[in-house]
Structure 1
Amino acid sequence: MTAATARGARTPPRRTETNPERWWTKPLLTVGFLTLTGAILSAKTAPATGYELSLYTATPILFWVGVAIALGGALLVAFVSSVRWVRSLALVLAATAMLSVLGLPFLRDYYFHGTADPMTHLGLAKDLNSGRTSPFGIMYPGIHILAVFISRVVGYPLRRSVLFVTLLFALVYILFVPLCVRLLVSGPRTTTIGVFSALLLLPINHISTHFRVHPFTLTTLYSAFIVFLLLKAFLSEGRYDRRSKRSKPVDTVAGTFVVLAVVLTSVVLFHPQQALNVLILFVTICDIQLLYRVFRSDHPISEHPRLYAPTLFFLGVYALWTTRTSWFYRLADKHLSKIAGYIQGETVAGKQIQAQGDSIAAIGASIPELFVKLFLLSAVYTAITAVIALLSVSHAFDDETTAPQSTRLYLSLSLLPLLMVFLVYFVGSISKMQFRHLGFLMLLATLLGAVGLCVALKRLRHTISLPRSGLLFAVGFALMLVLAIAPLYQSPYIHKQNVQVTEMQMEGYDQAFEHQTNGVPVLGIRMEPTRYADATRGVQWRSERERLYRQTVPFNTLSQLQTTFRSPRYVIVTRLDREREINAYQQLRFSKEEFQAIERQSGINRVMSNGEVQLYYVVDNSTTDDEPP
């Protein structure tokens, strides 16, 4: 046995399957691919014609039936088949089915998908594409550069390229999560469990991470690639020493670390805040390596390639990029002041969550209900992760090789500082940032949770046969996929509205800005018009005109607009606003009667309407002859 083998660098051959192949696996795969093709065509031939409160109900039922058959067939074949290439085809089918769900806004020809932040990112991409700003003028230009590149190479409109970028990052995540799992644990169904764990998309929580043009979320998904490179470097066999005729570890694995350097630079450009999570992961691993080298020199970790040089490089790039502007200092000051407020008793831990809980209760829902819909799967994987982490730290894991144990130990111990960051954000009630960091924690929980499921399946196969154990896991993942897909897009199911942006909305807002008289603010319903101004006119205008678009109508005042304001105002109302307030939020802040009362009020003039957007002018109540401009 060589030193490399003793360290566990080489994975022993997998045990061959002895179960006969089921006759129905290949026909079931054929049916799955055919039905998925029909599902995609049905969605493609039913483009959206206006605003849809729920993407789920507006998408043809044939699409959902086809996706369900494809995923169900892929699950059965992937867990029951004994032929590797058949299982591989099943995994391709499952991944394609999920990507078709993730690509629904693209398939159904949405003009754009994502209000709020995505609108601003579209405006930044437009500014970058037109040359009004440079990449150095954006704090995290990576997503925007990629969207502009795709637009220029492929010829897509920029708004479509931005949507396509989200699919690319989802593909990276779905590809590298199972590859990471393969490096963490061995077994014949490792890839299968890794793929279906990835399809659950646990980093998406709909509070601070969303599957749309949201750089932090997309960077979190991209981080799966970084974790893969880390694990791959640690499992390298090193170089061959001719004198000792043994394989010796090296401090850096050149090829992997060169790629890692490029990837680490890109993650800073994609989003520095998420890059900080990755940096914490790197620093923690360096600390682990140092401690084991000093106190446990006989442990395989002491012979792993050193991560010191890549971490120093990463830290340098991060410092150079973030400290060149005031962004880093403003963010640090905000966080430190919030934490100081908590220590001094001025801030209540979890205040944001408490406020949202009150609103949820007001519309007849409950925190436990939303927890089940949004976090049940995360809780399951977190519980499994806790068990795997404890077993890894205590070195009590029974595995064929020591290499996966060592890499699991890295990830397990790295959870502690990342969890501390999450708790700091939570007790400081720093906006909803704690749920951003929870997204990255769930990436690691997905990997370690998948490891736990692989071990469970291996143990289960000692008790019952492969078809039965595989069928049990297939049913379990089928239920989890239903729970994962149901809240993937915002809808009344989770008491939110679809964030679809129609062409009529964009045109309506653009016309509203054209009609606007200088100095008269434009107010939105719950959402500031500034986001639409970003998307239609770019972001560079903000320093001059931000004051005019930064206001919203106060709650429960639509029926008394003129008495609410002491000076002229424009009020813009969209179909999205009505659907959100009346149906999704169940008239919590604005009622159906209030919307109907707008045009019945004296001093309120409708200036413009295009079917989805109406612009009203609120006359100055100090005079009676004021006319809308």
Structure 2
Amino acid sequence: MKRSTLNITFAVGFLATAVGLLVARSNPASSYEPSIYTGTPTITWAAFALALAVAVSTALTCRGREQAFGIALGATTVTGIVSLPVIRNYRFAGMGDALTHLGWTRDIVTGQTAPHELFYPGIHSLASVFHYVGGVPIERALLFGIVILFVPFLLFVPLVVREISGSGVAVGIAAVISWMVLPINNIATHMGVHTNSNALFLVPVVIFAFVAYLRRRAAIERLAFGLSPFTLLIFLTGIALLFVHPQQMINVVVLLGAISAVQFLARRRYDDHPILDHPTMYAHTVVLGVIFTVWATSNERFRDALAGLLTGILTADVGGGAEVGQREASLQEIGSGLGELFVTMFFELALISLVVGVFILLVWLGRTSLDPETKSFVNYLSLSLIPLTGMFFVYFFGTPTMAFRQVGFLAVILTILAGVAFARGVGGLSSVITRPGANAVVALALGACLVLGLMTVFASPIIYSPNQHVTDQKFSGYEAGLTHTDDDTPLAGMGYDPYRYDHGLNGIEREGTLSAGTADSGTVDPEAFEAGNYSGAYHGSDYYFVVTEFDLTREIEIYDELHHSEDSLEEFETREGVDKVISNDEFRMYSVSGSG
């Protein structure tokens, strides 16, 4: 393609991204949106689609500066998609852990707690800086933090692949696969204020640090005491990861431990091998392992989580098998199933895992033409998948949520390996058809996976999980309810425990904070509620019943009245002993008499 034509193509792509962002900004969310995809104007999605089409084609076919422009276009567009809650003026996004993180950030801002007193203070500290320096509300500052922590993923995945293989094809493919955001699965990793998920996007930075350390060994790069600048970079990025979330830090320690084991075995077995020329990772593994151990064991939350994991492994009715069975039964009742949901949420990850798996097998069988240095790095990462996958099974039988978080980390490694694997696939396909034809086939396949991946970055009805958009009216309703109602009367939600809103609005480090599973906060029993036994629906006592637009969307529209029906809610409002005490367009609170 001529340079002038290419310049015009890039101009069209960047203009499309700008138009999409401006249209999204000019159409802010005015009320609760069940799906950010349908709430965002169609023009925005059309503009983003055009920009990504240009980005995919140029990232795969161009080299040098032009390829960098294509990668920059795609990364900018995907960052814009991830930033939609900020761009479209969401008050907040996230109703589970996100609200608790909001409460911790509020505690830091108000001086109720210090950052170092938290187990993972990274995003809370970052949001506090935005709040103090920029004067933005704490909720918005946290949304900014999500974007800031996400961008390194898009930057460093292609940089790691460039360090590993040096192939322009591999770099472009790795960039495109990074745009799919494979670490987000919306089961245990989420695109929101969720520190475990946010930490995943920093993992490529740590991997880049140790790959650069292994690659660049010149004496001129040494600092005092024989230290390499990349050694310091490994330690600094590892500590940064620890502060965002320790689970991903321990995964990095396991990764480095696996590399150290490969180096040790190579030194025992071979007299001449590229791995023998690499500096060892023994010290880095030990130092980061000690840092994690000291930090984690001094924290009560870690000790409780470890005890819960061990209990889950030893208890027959706890674990992934039981949870999967419950989810499958619920999906069947609303006319769906795990198969359909798996295709929607995991098809692109499964396809890429299959390609990477075949590629690794060919590497181990010696059936590829990789240069020895690249093959060494592929072996490092592929062999590390063995202990990392073993950790997945430990989590699966102990705490299923942790297992799917582990899938997120595995997806980061697979994203990096996929760049090299698909590049070799393009080379092999080129021997069968023409090189342009091979590029076209790969571009179409990756483009289809990219669409599917971006469709599930955010929670939405397509995966039976409504958008966790928190509006001004919802915050206002909860704030009034928590402030003006009787403190001795518990709050009960319709499938959602209101205690998280107490965390987000009032902080956590104070007396009287609501907690899950206590006499102060919980959810009504759906069977008793549907039967009209409103007093028996919540411990037979007086309580406040909260219904939000999110609850109605989930229970009535998405779950198809599986647990709560619209008729029962209408009957509930007219029952004696039930009084509406707070109401706006998206929030209702009722006072329910225990004798009703």
Which TM-score band (shorter chain)?
Answer: over 0.9
Computing the radius of gyration over CA atoms, which structure comes out larger, 1 or 2? 1
**Contact conserved, 1:113 with 1:500, CA < 8 A, in 2?**
yes
What one-letter code is carried by the residue in structure 2 that aligns with 1:223? V
For 1:413 and 1:93, the matched residues in 2 are separated by: 33
Measured after TM superposition, the shift of residue 467 of structure 1 is: 3.0
**Contact conserved, 1:252 with 1:307, CA < 8 A, in 2?**
no
Measured after TM superposition, the shift of residue 458 of structure 1 is: 2.2
Measured after TM superposition, the shift of residue 407 of structure 1 is: 1.1
- In structure 1, the partner of 2:393 is 423
Q: How does 1:366-445 map to 2 (within 5 A)?
A: 366-399=337-370, 401-428=371-398, 430-445=399-414
- In structure 1, the partner of 2:555 is 581
**Contact conserved, 2:502 with 2:514, CA < 8 A, in 1?**
no
Q: How does 1:543-558 map to 2 (within 5 A)?
A: 545-546=514-515, 547=518, 549-556=520-527, 557=529
Residue 115 of structure 1 pairs with residue 88 of structure 2? no
- In structure 2, the partner of 1:50 is 31
- In structure 2, the partner of 1:270 is 244
- In structure 2, the partner of 1:189 is 169
- In structure 2, the partner of 1:304 is 278
Q: Aligned with 2:579: secondary structure?
A: strand
**Contact conserved, 2:493 with 2:546, CA < 8 A, in 1?**
yes
- In structure 1, the partner of 2:126 is 146
**Contact conserved, 2:257 with 2:285, CA < 8 A, in 1?**
yes
Measured after TM superposition, the shift of residue 255 of structure 1 is: 0.2
Which contiguous aligned blocks of 4+ residues in structure 1 show a shift greater than 6 angstroms? none
- Using a 3 Å threshold, how does the CA distance of structure 1 residues 319 and 459 change in structure 2: closer, same or farther? same
For 2:384 and 2:513, the matched residues in 1 are separated by: 45
Residue 66 of structure 1 pairs with residue 17 of structure 2? no
For 1:113 and 1:532, the matched residues in 2 are separated by: 12
**Contact conserved, 1:233 with 1:253, CA < 8 A, in 2?**
no
Deviations 1:246-276 (A, max 9, x none): x99x997610011111111121111112211
For 2:218 and 2:113, the matched residues in 1 are separated by: 45
Most deviating of 202-211 and 584-593: 584-593
For 2:96 and 2:525, the matched residues in 1 are separated by: 18
**Contact conserved, 2:213 with 2:228, CA < 8 A, in 1?**
no
For 1:347 and 1:227, the matched residues in 2 are separated by: 34
Q: Aligned with 1:286: secondary structure?
A: helix
Q: Aligned with 1:560: secondary structure?
A: coil
Most deviating of 205-214 and 139-148: 139-148
What one-letter code is carried by the residue in structure 1 that aligns with 2:401? K
**Contact conserved, 2:492 with 2:546, CA < 8 A, in 1?**
yes
- In structure 2, the partner of 1:98 is 78
For 1:67 and 1:180, the matched residues in 2 are separated by: 26
Residue 328 of structure 1 pairs with residue 308 of structure 2? no
What one-letter code is carried by the residue in structure 1 that aligns with 2:362? L
Residue 560 of structure 1 pairs with residue 562 of structure 2? no
**Contact conserved, 1:238 with 1:253, CA < 8 A, in 2?**
no
Deviations 1:41-77 (A, max 9, x none): 1100001111011111111111011001111122223
Which of these residues, 474, 477, 498, is aligned with residue 529 of structure 1?
498
Most deviating of 83-92 and 355-364: 83-92
Most deviating of 200-209 and 130-139: 130-139
Deviations 1:155-186 (A, max 9, x none): 32221111111111221101111111112223
- In structure 2, the partner of 1:361 is 332
**Contact conserved, 2:92 with 2:471, CA < 8 A, in 1?**
yes
Measured after TM superposition, the shift of residue 138 of structure 1 is: 1.2
For 1:98 and 1:463, the matched residues in 2 are separated by: 33
For 1:603 and 1:287, the matched residues in 2 are separated by: 68
Most deviating of 550-559 and 611-620: 550-559
Residue 453 of structure 1 pairs with residue 433 of structure 2? no
**Contact conserved, 1:142 with 1:270, CA < 8 A, in 2?**
yes
Deviations 1:559-580 (A, max 9, x none): 4313534221111111111111
Which of these residues, 156, 174, 177, is aligned with residue 176 of structure 1?
156
**Contact conserved, 1:252 with 1:306, CA < 8 A, in 2?**
no
**Contact conserved, 2:250 with 2:289, CA < 8 A, in 1?**
no
- In structure 2, the partner of 1:17 is none
Q: Aligned with 1:350: secondary structure?
A: helix
- In structure 1, the partner of 2:464 is 495
Deviations 1:281-310 (A, max 9, x none): 111111111111122232221221121222
Aligned length: 590
What one-letter code is carried by the residue in structure 2 that aligns with 1:267? L
What one-letter code is carried by the residue in structure 2 that aligns with 1:453? F
Identify, as 1 or 2, the structure richer in helix.
Answer: 2
For 1:176 and 1:410, the matched residues in 2 are separated by: 18
Q: Aligned with 1:573: secondary structure?
A: strand
Deviations 1:82-105 (A, max 9, x none): x53222222211111111111110
Residue 28 of structure 1 pairs with residue 2 of structure 2? no
**Contact conserved, 1:393 with 1:413, CA < 8 A, in 2?**
no
- In structure 2, the partner of 1:611 is 585
What one-letter code is carried by the residue in structure 1 that aligns with 2:195? P
- Using a 3 Å threshold, how does the CA distance of structure 1 residues 525 and 560 change in structure 2: closer, same or farther? same
Q: Aligned with 1:617: secondary structure?
A: strand
Q: Aligned with 2:544: secondary structure?
A: strand
Which of these residues, 128, 131, 145, is aligned with residue 108 of structure 2?
128
Which of these residues, 570, 576, 596, is aligned with residue 596 of structure 1?
570
Most deviating of 583-592 and 498-507: 583-592
Residue 470 of structure 1 pairs with residue 439 of structure 2? yes
**Contact conserved, 1:75 with 1:474, CA < 8 A, in 2?**
yes
Residue 254 of structure 1 pairs with residue 228 of structure 2? yes
Unaligned 5+ runs, structure 2: none
- Using a 3 Å threshold, how does the CA distance of structure 1 residues 518 and 347 change in structure 2: closer, same or farther? closer
**Contact conserved, 2:514 with 2:521, CA < 8 A, in 1?**
no
**Contact conserved, 2:319 with 2:400, CA < 8 A, in 1?**
no
Which of these residues, 313, 317, 322, is aligned with residue 351 of structure 1?
322
- In structure 1, the partner of 2:69 is 89
**Contact conserved, 1:352 with 1:432, CA < 8 A, in 2?**
no
What one-letter code is carried by the residue in structure 1 that aligns with 2:474? Q
**Contact conserved, 2:98 with 2:193, CA < 8 A, in 1?**
yes
- The two structures, once aligned, show a CA RMSD in angstroms of 2.1
What one-letter code is carried by the residue in structure 2 that aligns with 1:270? V
For 1:564 and 1:37, the matched residues in 2 are separated by: 51
For 1:605 and 1:228, the matched residues in 2 are separated by: 60
- Using a 3 Å threshold, how does the CA distance of structure 1 residues 160 and 297 change in structure 2: closer, same or farther? farther
**Contact conserved, 1:572 with 1:615, CA < 8 A, in 2?**
yes
Most deviating of 20-29 and 441-450: 20-29
